[in-house]
Amino acid sequence: DAKTTQPPSMDCAEGRAANLPCNHSTISGNEYVYWYRQIHSQGPQYIIHGLKNNETNEMASLIITEDRKSSTLILPHATLRDTAVYYCIVSVRGTSYGKLTFGQGTILTVHP
Amino acid sequence: SQTIHQWPATLVQPVGSPLSLECTVEGTSNPNLYWYRQAAGRGLQLLFYSVGIGQISSEVPQNLSASRPQDRQFILSSKKLLLSDSGFYLCAWSSRGSGANVLTFGAGSRLTVL
């Protein structure tokens, strides 16, 4: 699976949009981009995934560049409860089992 | 809806003692099951995964073993714990095919080996 690069930490004011970048310049044509987050002392939580089109769900939006070498996770109105480590992962979809490689992620701190 | 239960939530064990962590999933059948470990200040490491009863794949050599005696039950074990086994253990499940990379994690079991 392709590797990803994320900033180690980011800050965001409560109520503002949080834009978390991810570089995946070696992504293959059949690899999807997945985002998870882990709130302190809890298990990771799936957020969203996409291939090449922008995706949106009740939690976030995912913007993938046209060349697919980078993406941005957008939390439109960040709250204090969004403080967590955010993981960007690329992996082939549709395999018989999930084999996700979690890196160090980005520590997002939302402050009042 | 699907739920995943993991226990115990915390435990403190002496070096050399045995370990058994249990995970069960409700509301789905034939899930993929996973055990991850997170050492202090580090990322998640996949330890084992299972695609069916009695089918266990190990990702890294270690002092631990896993078993899947029933479709929705996954057990992590050790005969003799080492200090390096301390960490946060997470069980997860996913469906097959296109949903295989969408994992739902349990609340975790925090193990301290003294």
For A29-42, the pLDDT digits (tens) are 989 999 999 999 89
Question: Which residues 54-83 of B are in CB contact (within 8 Å) with A?
Answer: none
CA–CA separation, A60 vs B28, rounded Å? Answer: 26
Flag if A34 and B101 touch (Cβ within 8 Å): yes
Instruction: Tell me what pLDDT residue A112 has.
Output: 95
Q: Which residue among B46, B90, B96 sits closest to A43, beta carbon to beta carbon?
A: B90
> In the beta sheet, which residues pair with residue A9?
A107
Instruction: Tell me what pLDDT residue A93 has.
Output: 80
Coil, helix or strand at residue B80? coil
CA–CA separation, A27 vs A32, rounded Å? Answer: 8
Written as one letter, the residue type at B98 is: S
Instruction: Tell me what pLDDT residue A25 has.
Output: 95
Instruction: Tell me what pLDDT residue B51 has.
Output: 93
pLDDT in tens, A91-102: 988 677 787 889
Q: CB-based contact (8 Å) between B46 and chain A? A: yes
For residue A2, pLDDT beyond 70: no
Q: What average pLDDT score do residues A41-67 get?
A: 95
pLDDT in tens, B13-53: 999 999 999 999 999 989 999 999 998 877 899 999 999 99
Take residue A8 and report the two structure tokens written for it.
Answer: 């180690």
Mutate to test the interface with B, among A51, A100, A106 (most CBs of B within 10 A): A100
CA–CA separation, B6 vs A44, rounded Å? Answer: 14
B8 burial (CB, 10 Å; 0-12 / 13-18 / 19+) is exposed
Take residue B44 and report the two structure tokens written for it.
Answer: 């998640």
User: What percent of chain A has a predicted confidence (pLDDT) above 90?
Assistant: 82
Q: Which residue has the tokens 């939006």?
A: A61
Instruction: Tell me what pLDDT residue A74 has.
Output: 98
Q: Minimal Cα–Cα distance from B96 to chain A, Å?
A: 6
pLDDT in tens, B45-73: 999 999 999 999 998 877 899 999 999 99
CA–CA separation, B28 vs B44, rounded Å? Answer: 25
Contacts of A41 in chain B (CB under 8 A): 88, 108, 110
Cis peptide upstream of residue A7 (ω within 30 degrees of 0): no
Instruction: Tell me what pLDDT residue A1 has.
Output: 64
Instruction: Tell me what pLDDT residue B2 has.
Output: 85
Q: What average pLDDT score do residues A69-73 get?
A: 97
Flag if B96 and A96 touch (Cβ within 8 Å): yes
Instruction: Tell me what pLDDT residue B42 has.
Output: 76
